[in-house]
Amino acid sequence: MENQLVESLAVESVGTRRSAEWVRHVINLLDAAVRQLRADEPSAHVTLLEATSVLRRQVDPEANRTSSDGRGRLLAWQTRKIRDFIDSRISGPIWVSDLCALVQLSEAHFSRSFKRTFGESPHAFVIRRRVELAAECMLQSDASQSDIAQRFGFTDQAHLCKQFRQATGQTPAAWRREQRAREDTQGMRGVSRSAAASGTSSRAGRDTAAHRSSPRAASHGAPGCSSLDRLMAELA
């Protein structure tokens, strides 16, 4: 009994020392963050995240174990929050430290999980998303490139052109012209096909009436293709 009491006290003593160690560690991190905030240093965000991470591991170890899907990727709710946050802030700067705080992960852990989830770094993902939204805007509006660049967080029009060319192999202006020309062509095809179908129906009706009124007329066969039919064939 006495031996068990001694062992229990020893374990409690070790646990107390460890608790004191992580508490001191958190205090040191918070002190460092205060100094960094006073100096207006961006690293203060990282320090605060680290302190938060240490506290979370001690207070709720289970939450730390469920911060990924078991394969090092972000959880579904984290992925959704990150996508929504990026799209809502796409017109301005997006910092990795803000994304880390959003899903309550340290920067190192977040960067690894993000790449395993999306297949690219946070910076590359944000650039790609800016280009995608800019492309949508170019097709849906007549906004100038400078306006689009500002709307989707590019430094200026030259920055938009550089990133867009890297992603698509074309300048924004050339890509927009090509896409709109393709849409116009597809629209013309649809109109031509509709008109051709209507013309064919009309001709069939006339042929039927002619056949009924004059058996001789039927021997001449069906009429030739109209100019609209030829146009449709050229566009197809």
Query: For the chain, which residues make up each domain, given as ranges?
Result: 18-66, 69-119, 123-177
Q: What global pTM score does this model have?
A: 0.56
**pLDDT band at 235; cut points 50, 70, 90:** very low
Res 140: pLDDT: 93
The more confidently predicted of residues 35 and 202 is 35
Residue 53 has pLDDT above 50, yes or no: yes
Question: In terms of C-beta density within 10 A (0-12 exposed, 13-18 middle, 19 or more buried), how is residue 46 classed?
Answer: buried
On average, the pLDDT of the chain sits at: 75
What CATH number does the domain located at 123-177 have?
1.10.10.60
Is the per-residue pLDDT at 134 higher than 80? Answer: yes
Q: Give tens-digit pLDDT for 75-111.
A: 999 999 999 999 999 999 999 999 999 998 999 999 9
**pLDDT for 179-212, tens place per residue?**
989 888 877 666 666 655 665 555 555 555 555 5
DSSP codes of every residue in 88-120: HTTTS---HHHHHHHHT--HHHHHHHHHHHHSS
* Amino acid 2: pLDDT: 56
What pLDDT sits at residue 31? 73
